[in-house]
Chain A
Amino acid sequence: MSDIAIKTVNLTKRYSGLWSKHPVDAVKNLNLEVYRGEIFGFLGPNGAGKTTTIKILLGIIYPTEGEAYVLGKPAGDPKNHYKISYLPENPYFYDYMTGREILTFYARLFGIPEPERSKRVEELLDRVGLSRAADQPLRTYSKGMLQRIGLAQCLINDPELLILDEPTAGLDPIAHIDIRDLILELRNQGKTLFISSHQLSDVERVCDRVAILNKGMLVRLGKIEELLAGGHVEIIADKVSDNVVEPIRQLGGKVSLHDGRLIVQQPDDGSVDRVIDIVRAAGGHIISVKPYRRTLEDLFVETIQGGKSV
């Protein structure tokens, strides 16, 4: 079994209207590999091509050029759909049905027979905390409850790969944490999660790797810790003499010294200990050492405003 869950090769989706002279590339030459068992964040501003890519992976639309593979088979292969599941952004379900009925409906689409079907439905209702609301029509559900039922329908087939589009959008903090915990729990069970989201703090917390798309093109791809490397450490010290300034500057730090109070912004590249040693050797007193980590939001803004492709 291949260790790649999703692979795209020069994937391109071009839209050209009947009368339009200028076709638009919603996705352009996208090359991506998502490994089994990882949580992969798929990011980008609105209109970047995220949902288009997801639709191609699900076989809802077809690529103009290039190829897409899901779990080793061409995207859209219905046999593959036994092993994958999808939660769209702001999901809508038949709202006259109850929570139990909608899960039963989706279980029937998989052909799961009774009594296995009922057993699985009850387990999932319990797992997403909706057992008590199981017989309420979905039109009475809150957004958080709908999102939970959406995740439950995603799990009805015990999938290998989950494709989640904005799974935590618009949720209150408690529901937010619940869904995030559920995502981590799924990863611990060995499932692959492909998450498209604008909730960058969530992505930073749960994802192993991310890809950033802009104008249909892949502009960043990598492990979170690698992409976010390059933060700095702020060192504040007192009773420091002028002669430390130059050696610290030579180590690449930004230094300010006023009335014996030293503030250093030192790149987090292993030189922090040496700066502290220099300050101490000069009789200075370290007040604080505070790391400032680069956030995914910083990276996202920098990448989108920079606009270069990988």
Chain B
Amino acid sequence: MNAVMAIAGATFGEAIRKRILIVILLIALLIILISPAFGPFAGGRGARTMIISFGFGVIQLAGTFIAIIMCTTMIPTEIERRTIYTILSKPVQRYQFVLGKFFGAIGTLGFMYLMMGIVFLIATRFAIGEFDARIIPGLIMFFFQSSLLAAVVLFFSTFVSPLVNYFLSGGVFLLGNLLSSFLETIQRNPEVTPLTRIPVQILTLILPNFSNFNVQNPIINPEQVITDPVAYTVQTLAYALVYMTMLLVLSMLIFNQREM
């Protein structure tokens, strides 16, 4: 565990100094800070809904970019710079290296979400005059969404190049956000043939469902009602944990066979 934590610490230390990630974080913080200014444009939905959903949107987008950019190069850079050789020549097993990298990524995401969350809470407090109770669970859901995405990116990074990984992970994230609603739509449509339905069903089953984490949907669309928000949150987070564990195990198995 010592080795895993040492690698996680080094990964975190390096990630929070990456200029591109700092720039994304600063832009996100700036937009969150000025998000109350968009309240008056809400029209019929109300300023509160507009501010919260807009803030969540910014946080989700920033979290997605941070997860993809950070994790795409995490392992390939270590191989390219040969730092991995000095690490793996120590009594460090490859699975420990992958775990350390993942925990470092999660730590970085946690730090970024903490920064964005604090600014978001302060901005909404001043804009609507009170703390909205939906913000903290919402932040947790998006943090888990980004963490799951980080696990997907890390998984791909064990066997594809960073450039391919950008497209693959971006594609998986997009499909993972759209597929479940798409499946619902085609299942309601009797004209859709099994030839179309079955591949969508398989893809929906295999790919991680990122749409479950999108907590701004019920905020924006009042017709979407979650009867038991606590159970929904727990189930969604448990889903993320199970999926992340599976991806990590696969990453470790592939990385164990990888030649560098």
Contact = CB atoms under 8 A, between A and B. Distances in A.
Interface string B139-182: 00000000000000000000000000000000000000000000
Interface string A40-63: 000000000000000100111110
B86 A84 contact: no
A97 B13 contact: yes
B10 A111 contact: no
B89 A86 contact: yes
Given A58-B89, A78-B93, A108 B83 contact: no
Contacts of B5: 108
Interface residues of B, number: 25
Given A60-B84, A61-B260, 12 more contacts: A60-B89, A84-B89, A85-B89, A86-B86, A91-B82, A96-B17, A106-B86, A108-B5, A109-B6, A109-B7, A109-B90, A163-B89
A292 interface: no
Contacts of A111: 2-3, 91
30 contacts: A58-B88, A59-B88, A60-B84, A60-B85, A60-B259, A62-B259, A78-B93, A85-B89, A86-B85, A87-B86, A88-B86, A90-B82, A91-B82, A92-B82, A94-B14, A96-B14, A96-B17, A97-B13, A106-B90, A108-B5, A109-B3, A109-B6, A109-B7, A109-B91, A109-B92, A111-B2, A111-B3, A111-B91, A153-B86, A163-B89
Contact of B91 (A78, A91, A97): A78
A111 B2 CA distance: 6
Assign chain A's interface to a size class: 20 to 34
B87 interface: yes
9 A-B pairs with least C-beta separation: A108-B6, A86-B89, A92-B81, A81-B91, A109-B90, A61-B259, A111-B2, A58-B89, A88-B82
Contact of B89 (A81, A92, A105): A81
Most chain A CB atoms below 10 A, which of B2, B9, B93: B2
Interface of B: 2-3, 5-7, 9-10, 13-14, 17, 81-93, 259-260
A60 B89 CA distance: 8
A216 B249 CA distance: 36
Contacts of B85: 55, 58, 60, 86, 88
A265 to B, nearest CB: 47
A51 to B, nearest CB: 10
B87 A109 contact: yes
A92 B10 CA distance: 14
Contacts of B88: 58-60
Nearest to B7: A109
Contacts of B3: 108-109, 111
A81 B97 CA distance: 15
Interface string A108-133: 11110000000000000000000000
Interface string A123-159: 0000000000000000000000000001001000100
A94 B13 contact: yes
A105 B7 CA distance: 8
A212 B84 CA distance: 27
Given A78-B92, A82-B91, A86-B89, A105 B83 contact: no
A153 B84 CA distance: 14
B70 to A, nearest CB: 15
Contact of A110 (B81, B84, B91, B259): B91
Contacts of B260: 55, 60-61
B7 to A, nearest CB: 8
Interface string A20-56: 0000000000000000000000000000000000010
Contacts of A92: 81-83
A142 B259 CA distance: 31
Contacts of B93: 78
Interface string A259-302: 00000000000000000000000000000000000000000000
Contacts of A62: 259
